[in-house]
Amino acid sequence: MTNGFSRRSFAAGAFGAGALAAGIIGKSGASLAQGTPKRGGTLVATWGGGEPQACYVPAGGGSSPTFSSSKLFERLGRRTMEGAFEGELAEAWKPAADFKSYAIKIRKGVKFHDGKDMTVDDVVYSIGEIWKKYAAAAALTDFAGVEAPDSDTVVVTFNKPVPEFFFSSLLCGNVNYVVPKHVYAGSDPVTNPANNSPTGTGPWKFKEWVRGSHFEYVRNDAYWRKDMPYLDRLIIRYVRDPAGRAAAMEAGDIHIGVFNPVAPPDIKRLTGTGKFVATSKGYEESVWSTSFEVNMRNPIFAKREVRQAMFFAIDRNLIAKTVYYGYARPGTSPIFSPNKEFFTADTFKTAFDPKKAAALLDAAGHPKQKDGKRFTLNLLAAGWFAENGKIGAIVKQGLEDVGVGINLTVPDRPSSIKRIYTDYDFDVAISNQANPSEPVPSTTQYYTSDGIKKGVPFRNASGFHTPEVDALVEKIKVETDPAKRKALVVEFQKITTLECPNLPLVELESITVASTRVQNHSNDPNYLAASWHDIWLAS
Amino acid sequence: MAAVAAGSRGRAALRLLRRRLIQAVPLMLGVVVINFCLIQLAPGSFLDLMTAENQVSDPATIELLRKTYGLDDPVWLQLVKYIWALMQFDFGFSYRQNMPVIQAISVHLPATLLLMVSSITLALAVGVAAGVVASVKVRTVWDSLVSIAAMFFFAAPSFWLGIMLIVLFSVKLGWLPVGGMATIGGVGGGVAGVLDILHHLILPTLALGLFYAAIYARVMRSSMLEVAQLDFVRTARAKGLSRNRVTVSHVLRNALLPVVTILGVQMGTVLAGSVVIESVFSWPGIGSLLFDSVSSRNYPVVLGIMVLGSLVVIAANIAVDLVYMWLDPRIEIR
């Protein structure tokens, strides 16, 4: 899962005007891939956030290092825009009959940037030492071992049956890369100096990092995909200020910006010149939400009706329209609506209804007192995104309208992480989540007892857990029949929407802005984390 | 006689330098203690973020990290250890950049110093010249123009001015680069490389320096008008000296004293202002490093920047004192 605080600069207000969004995005599709690829040239890219702490962070470290490292390293598999899984550094994989192990056939002829061959040893090391301990520690709880029975095959074994969708998603995970064993073995992967000048197998080779300015990558001439990449150089440039990014794009200094690089008015201005397109494609596997969590440690929330009342009192459409300028839609389920595999609309709905909220609070034994208040709560809006503070004001108004007193605070990022996920110092909180299609563990961990990990952000901070949900998630983890598994996930959604411990207020749309010269972009469902091997620049 | 006077002034300057350096020791100690305590008051620590970003949840590992980074010591002991390390020029280690603090800062410091020096130079040159023109041409259209321009640049927020400069000179006219310190990919070293950096330096220097130029222009104008009324100027005129000579040799030199005074005081604010300008122009100075370090509670780097920043301000103020003595030999600063 992507860490929530990594997406710092969608704060730049880069969710544009709704009407504007529809028109702009409509233009983009045809321009993403046209004509015969042209060779050569330098592409300058940016993203809607800051410079990473390291070029590669084994545990992920957020979207910024994922963006920089994903051009240098590669995964065993990838997901296509159509939703299919296909091999990248693996040619194929298949489960054993009991689904307790998977055999991965490794692609031959792949070389690391230092000229050494990628072998099964590198894959075994990456899965056993990097994924298990850092990159996919939360997902690999039932991991039993990994070995290479021959020079072509790696076998991963588990203590329990593992669904194929889960395993395939694991191979495509954000930073589940194949790293060179000869560089990392015997060192602490977190502090290995190679993290700042990585050696991978990707289409781009690290050349230089000018701190505070940019990364410079050059074409990997020994890349295993024939005749790719098309470009000679890829520059990842960091511009902290969204207005500065817009100016740099308009001046032709930056060709493409992913993940909300500029403010909404600038999207309109740039696309209005006819030299840029904007698209919301390329984020299907990394949908973000703004969530509302209640702290079950407060006895007031022991009754389900009180939790439900909180959600009935909040106008999610207002949030989508005013805070995100229409670049968002009300959330209805912990599984987000673009998730074709598992989303269901058949859940308990908590659409804006202040009267119902008031009635639920009355019925739960919390009538209004003489001062007009039923009780008072501490609302913490996580300050890593500017939008959260604005949503906090809307939520405060909505809850106060039904007689719930609110003390709103908007601490900065470190304080928010500590108060929500370490100290549990909140009654209700506004936070953010980003989830891929596979619900285990990225989504389910917010609702299970094993998701309660003090000090680890973007886990179960509400403290909600029931034997019923724990058991259901355990079934989801091991159910290998896709249809039965989907039914279980639907059941999971029905229970969690009814219980209301932590639900999305809105699902967010992310935007890429690119020069019309840029071809073959936004063609991966997690484009920020894609390798960009086939991107090219038209004349 | 002149040689004796010069020697005497030289010795006085050395005495001043020695005194200021001794005074700088408790000053630096105060800076370190106050900044260390302020940082400790902020909620959340870099360990919280580090464990969060690396998804570390094992209490034993967290405790080990706490011990590794010396966070299990009482705060007073951490402070004593930090001061002891500083005395050995050890600024600590930045876990985030995975390198010693001094190395992390030294990567960015030259860019900030370059921006500061160029901005101060611009501010002094433009501000003093504009102030002189306004005072010599007092109550004329030139005086009004200088006053209006000074008011505009004083009132304009530097980030707004920066963006406007980018829109005009980079986006519309295409004369100057939008940001960065050098052309990515390079134009080669030597003279071409220096010219490339200067090309990139123009807009950030204008955005940062014009604010201070506005202040200096206003101060210079009033100071010039005030000094022009003094007896020694009247005497110089009575001796038959030309207007230009009186203005340059007598009025200007004495009128510079207030400008030099505020220059020293403002060294710290110039450093702070560069943080904003660096953000607007993607200038790879310590501004972005400081911003990231504060938001990630990377205390060793924050403290390192504070200490080095204080050293720069102290050094600048010592230099100002020496310039003061040079400008006005009557002054012996104690």
| A467-514 residue pLDDT tens | 999 999 999 999 999 999 999 999 999 999 999 999 999 999 999 999
Confidence check: pLDDT of B44 > 90: no
By the CB < 8 Å criterion, does A61 face chain B? yes
Instruction: Grade residue B332 by pLDDT with cuts at 50, 70 and 90.
Output: low
Interface of B with A in 303-332 (CB under 8 A): none
The amino acid sitting at A451 is: G
C-alpha of B205 from chain center: 12
Q: What are phi and psi of B204, to 5 degrees?
A: -60, -35
Chain A positions in Cβ-Cβ contact with residue B288 (cut-off 8 Å): 50-51, 212, 240
For testing the chain A interface, which of B53, B109, B297 should be mutated: the one with the most A CBs within 10 Å? B53
Chain A positions in Cβ-Cβ contact with residue B115 (cut-off 8 Å): none
Q: What pLDDT is attached to residue A31?
A: 44
Q: Write the CB contacts of A216 (distance below 8 Å, at least 6 apart in sequence).
A: A207, A208, A209, A210, A233, A234, A235, B184, B185
Q: What pLDDT is attached to residue B267?
A: 81
The more confidently predicted of residues A310 and B308 is A310
Q: What pLDDT is attached to residue A417?
A: 87
C-alpha of B124 from chain center: 13
By the CB < 8 Å criterion, does A92 face chain B? no
Q: What pLDDT is attached to residue A3?
A: 37
Q: What pLDDT is attached to residue A24?
A: 38
Going by the DSSP 8-state scheme, the letter that residue A369 receives in this structure is: -
pLDDT per residue as tens, chain A (539 positions): 333 333 333 333 333 333 333 333 433 443 455 578 999 999 999 999 888 989 999 988 888 999 999 999 999 999 999 999 999 999 999 999 999 999 999 999 999 999 999 999 999 999 999 999 888 888 898 999 999 999 999 999 999 999 999 999 999 998 999 999 999 999 989 889 999 999 999 999 999 998 888 999 999 999 999 999 999 999 999 998 888 899 999 989 999 999 999 987 888 889 999 999 999 999 999 899 999 999 999 999 999 999 999 999 999 999 999 998 888 999 999 999 999 999 999 999 999 999 999 999 999 999 999 999 999 999 999 998 889 999 999 999 999 999 999 999 999 888 898 899 989 999 999 999 988 899 999 999 999 999 998 878 888 999 999 999 999 999 999 999 999 999 999 999 999 999 999 999 999 999 999 999 999 999 999 999 999 999 999 98
Chain B positions in Cβ-Cβ contact with residue A64 (cut-off 8 Å): none
Q: Which of A101-115, A393-407, B3-17, B294-308 has the lowest mean pLDDT?
A: B3-17
User: Mean of the pLDDT values across residues B133-137?
Assistant: 92
Q: Give the pair of three-digit tokens for residue A465.
A: 């857990």
Identify whether the C-beta of residue A394 lies closer than 8 Å to the C-beta of residue A315.
yes
The amino acid sitting at B63 is: E
By the CB < 8 Å criterion, does B192 face chain A? no
Q: Which of A24-33, A206-215, B217-226, B314-323 has the lowest mean pLDDT?
A: A24-33
Q: What pLDDT is attached to residue B319?
A: 86
Q: What pLDDT is attached to residue B72?
A: 82
Identify whether the C-beta of residue A520 lies closer than 8 Å to the C-beta of residue A534.
yes
By the CB < 8 Å criterion, does B169 face chain A? no
**The domain made up of B107-327 is a member of CATH 1.10.3720.10:** yes
By the CB < 8 Å criterion, does B186 face chain A? no
Most confident of A48-52, B48-52, B111-115: B111-115
DSSP character string of B55-112: T---HHHHHHHHHHTTTTS-HHHHHHHHHHHHHTT---EETTTTEEHHHHHHHHHHHH
Q: What pLDDT is attached to residue A62?
A: 83
Interface of B with A in 282-301 (CB under 8 A): 282-285, 288-289, 291-292, 295-297
Q: What pLDDT is attached to residue B287?
A: 84
pTM for the complete prediction?
0.83
Q: Do B43 and A419 touch (CB under 8 A)?
A: yes
Q: What pLDDT is attached to residue A26?
A: 38
Q: What are phi and psi of A93, to 5 degrees?
A: -150, 150
The SS3 assignment for B141 reads helix
Percent of chain B scored above 90 by pLDDT? 33
Q: Do B171 and A57 touch (CB under 8 A)?
A: no
The more confidently predicted of residues A303 and B247 is A303
Q: What pLDDT is attached to residue B55?
A: 62
